[in-house]
Each structure stands twice: as structure tokens, then as C-alpha cells.
Amino acid sequence: MELWWSDEARVGQKNTLTRLWARRGTRPRLPHDQRTEYAYIFGAICPEKGKGAALVMPWCNTSAMNAHLQEISQMVDPGAHAVLMLDGAGWHIAGDLVVPDNITLLPLPPRAPELNPLENVWQYLRDNWLSNRIFASYEDIVDQCCCAWNNLIERPWMIMSIGLRDWAYRL
């Protein structure tokens, strides 16, 4: 049995600004774009094993979620079954959602983002690779999202550190 968490994050030209170091008494200038192109990272992590699966998609919809479920299914260890915890977004519960045989969906309670460690992963990605920048184009957004996710995947100890929830393994 593998416990996985899934969520989506929007990344785009109206980007977030994060704190940074500056000399006392100075006010650092940071870029802020007014254009509105976005991409969505469909991400999932298995903190116990330090692994993850993600796709960068142009929209959040059922077909994107189906592709994401297939990606997660390929990352589940052979012979194992994944319990995928996710929020109640419409594309997570759509009637035409195709759930692979080695995955069971477990919805988290509504209005409880603190239960999903992916919320912390998004903050980590933004703080380290995605904030305080201007993306040149949609392709640049996709490239930077892929680069940020791949940087995370190369650090399984970070996935474990951010994602492990003791309460989830007390079954």
C-alpha cells in the first residue's frame, strides 16, 4: 500500500513575490508581470518513498486529471496499490474520470488544505524556483515548471521532509 497526495498549482505571468534578503533600510525591486498566461502543475507525491509524479498542463479539467492519474499509476511500485488523497475539485470527482486499477481515490474533507502536503510543496517550489521572475512566454512557464518539479524529484529527502504526515501512517 502506498499513500499518495495530489493537487494542482497554477503558475503564470502574474507571478507571486516572495521574501528575500536585502540590506536594512533598502527596498529591493522585484519584477511583476501584468500578462495573464498560465500553466497548471498536476503534482502528486508519495512521501514515504520520496517519489512523485507530475504533468504540466494548459487547463484544469477531467482529461488533464485522467492523464495525471495515468502518470501516477506508472510510478506506483509493481504489485502495490496506491491510495490517492485529493481535494474535492470538480475534475477529481467527474463521472468520466478513468481511475487506473492500482489507484483508489480518497477525498479529503472540504476546506482543509492543511491536510494535503502538496500545499507545502507548492510553497517550496515557488520560494525556490518559481517566484520573483518574469516568464517570457507560455513555453517558458512550462519549461520553468518542469525544471522546478524535476529539481524537487532529484531531492527525495525533501519530498519526505515536506510531505510525511505521522497521522496518515497510524492506521
Burial of 88 (0-12, 13-18, 19+ CB in 10 A): exposed
Contact (CB, 8 A) for 71 and 51: no
Q: What would the pLDDT profile of 59-107 be if each residue is shown by its tens digit? A: 999 999 999 999 999 999 999 999 999 998 888 888 899 999 999 999 9
Q: Rounded to an integer, what distance in angstroms lies between the CA atom of residue 40 and that of residue 26?
A: 35
* SS3 state at 94: coil
Backbone phi, psi, residue 65, to 5°: -65, -40
Contact (CB, 8 A) for 152 and 118: no
Instruction: Name the residue ranges covered by the structural domains of the chain.
Output: 2-10+36-169
Pick among 3.40.50.150, 3.30.420.10, 3.20.20.140, 2.40.10.350: CATH of 2-10+36-169: 3.30.420.10
Mean pLDDT of 35-46: 92
* SS3 state at 106: strand
Mean pLDDT of 26-42: 79
H or E element in which residue 46 lies: strand 38-46
